[in-house]
Structure 1
Amino acid sequence: MGADKITFVRNYSDLSTDQGFQFEFYCDRCGGGFRNRFKPSVTGAVSGALDAASSLFGGVFGKAANMGERVRSASWKKAHDEAFEEACAQLKPDFIQCPRCSSWVCRASCWNNSKGLCKDCAPDLGVEMAAAQANRSVEEVWAHAAMAEEDKNLDKKQWREKIRASCPNCEAPLASNAKFCPECGEKLKFQENCPECGTKIAPGSKFCLECGHKL
């Protein structure tokens, strides 16, 4: 590396080979990555040519290959460090460090620009609201699926009626929607309000005086 230190992501992969240099940098939050363009290595190409000549002819070419390997080792590392610096400079604008959690995140998907924080520290409220609504819908589906069949049959009309748990005459327990007491035969249901408009109705009425609904 050069004299100047480069502050950048901790998540990266070195894809360099003897033939050249390439690096991948990753977002701490989503794991998405960016890869710089492959940069050929001059020392790697020369070393490869000497190795090929050595395998064919040996002798002086073999000695040259060994010497080239020692030279390549130092020059390749220097070129590698320079290539890494270039890759950092090239890809750093695609990342930003969150001042709250210190994570390096990609600007494209994981940065809340309006809050100046990563989306782990400052979630996108629109996305969170949509997720909350979706979760609520799922909860309602499961709640409906768990309802007893008897409860599913309670329509708007039945919800407006008074439902008793015991007979007003003998206090015997009653099944839901019972019209007569199974013990004493007491008539249980009397509509005090119109199931359509809610208007109070008089005993014995066959139609609602307000909306004309048949009782």
Structure 2
Amino acid sequence: MTDAVPFTDNFSDLSNSEGYQFEFRCERCGNGYRSAFRRDAIETGRGVLRSIGSLFGGKVQDLSYAADRWRYNQATNSAAKDKALRAAVEEITPSFRQCRGCSDWMCSTQCWNDEIGQCLRCSPSVAEEVSRAQASAQRDQIWEKAREKDWTSGIDLDTRAKVSCPSCGSKADGGKFCSSCGGSLAPIAKCGGCGNEGNKPGAIFCNECGSKL
């Protein structure tokens, strides 16, 4: 009976046809730690057999084909992979701590509270929490004070704002006159008949009395 292998839910298998490698992740910050690449001696031997077989043929080539027929599956479970994973776990474990509060694996450098003996998610750092609360309160107070201040003084809210100049079509930056051509941003098309000033610039007839403008 083989020993159980920890780290079964927070690692990625980076193994390939040449050997084994695994990447372990912190379950709080997501930072990864990659184990050293361990070359597979059996796969290397098969590669040598294939190379010799391609050169000499005959019985040696038959041996290389026999080696290929013996499927050494690195994509699924195997004794060799378990051995490589145990070695990787032993290599990487000093960089992790398992929290007794949430049972997750945390990196020891960024996400572990040494004073309490739990992860920072279960037992946050007091100084970090105070700093976070202060920053949150400061942000809320800035928004509250910004809402209390009158930001509309000096802005003409009676005249419909124009985003482009009616005369030249340039982008308008506010004000009463275009900064590109000097034309009025709110030209008045006053009717000579009834005195209506609500006609659109360029209109031919008054929208109140129908007189020609």
- Structure 1 CA distance for aligned equivalents of residues 52 and 42 of structure 2: 15
Q: Which deviations, in whole Å up to 9, do the C-alpha atoms of 1:29-64 show, x marking residues without a partner? A: 111111111111111112112233444555434321
**Matched residue, 2:165:** none
2:36 matched to 1:40?
no
Task: List gaps (5 residues or longer) in structure 1.
Answer: 151-215
CA–CA distance in structure 2, aligned partners of residues 105 and 9 of structure 1: 14
State how far apart, in whole Å, the 2-side matches of 1:58 and 1:5 are: 44
The answer to whether the 8 A contact 1:12-1:26 is kept is yes
Equivalence map 1:101-180=2 (5 Å): 101-149=102-150
Deviation string 1:149-208 (CA, Å, 9 cap, x unpaired) is 39xxxxxxxxxxxxxxxxxxxxxxxxxxxxxxxxxxxxxxxxxxxxxxxxxxxxxxxxxx
Is 1:62 paired with 2:50? no
Q: How big is the shift at 1:98?
A: 1.1
Sort the Cα spacing of 1:109 and 1:82 in 2 relative to 1 into closer, same or farther, 3 A.
Answer: same
Cα distance 1:7–1:79, how it changes in 2: closer, same or farther (>3 A)?
A: closer
How far apart are 1:90 and its partner, in Å?
A: 1.3
Structure 2: segments with no counterpart, 5+ residues: 152-213
Whole-angstrom distance in 1 between the partners of 2:8 and 2:26: 8
Distance 1:14 1:135 in 2: 40
Task: Tell me the equivalent position of 2:82.
Answer: 81
Larger RCO of the pair (alpha carbons < 8 Å, separation 6+):
1
Larger Rg: 1
Match of 2:6 in 1: 7
- TM-score, normalised to structure 2, is 0.62
The size of the alignment, in residue pairs, is 150
Residue 96 of structure 1: aligned partner: 97
Task: Please list the CA deviations of residues 10-38 of structure 1 after superposition, one character each: whole Å capped at 9, or x if unmatched.
Answer: 21011111211111111111111111111
Instruction: Summarize the Cα distance change of 1:124–1:9 in structure 2 as closer, same or farther, 3 Å threshold.
Output: farther
> In 2, distance between residues paired with 1:148 and 1:101?
46
Shift, 1:96, TM fit? 1.5
Structure whose residues are more often helix by fraction: 1
Cα separation, 2, equivalents of 1:93 and 1:9: 16
Contact 1:110 1:119 in 2 (8 A): yes
Q: Take 1:39 and 1:7, find their aligned partners in 2: how far apart are those partners?
A: 19
> What is the rounded CA distance, in whole Å, between the counterparts of 1:99 and 1:72 in structure 2?
41
CA shift at 1:81, angstroms? 2.0
Identical pairs, percent: 36
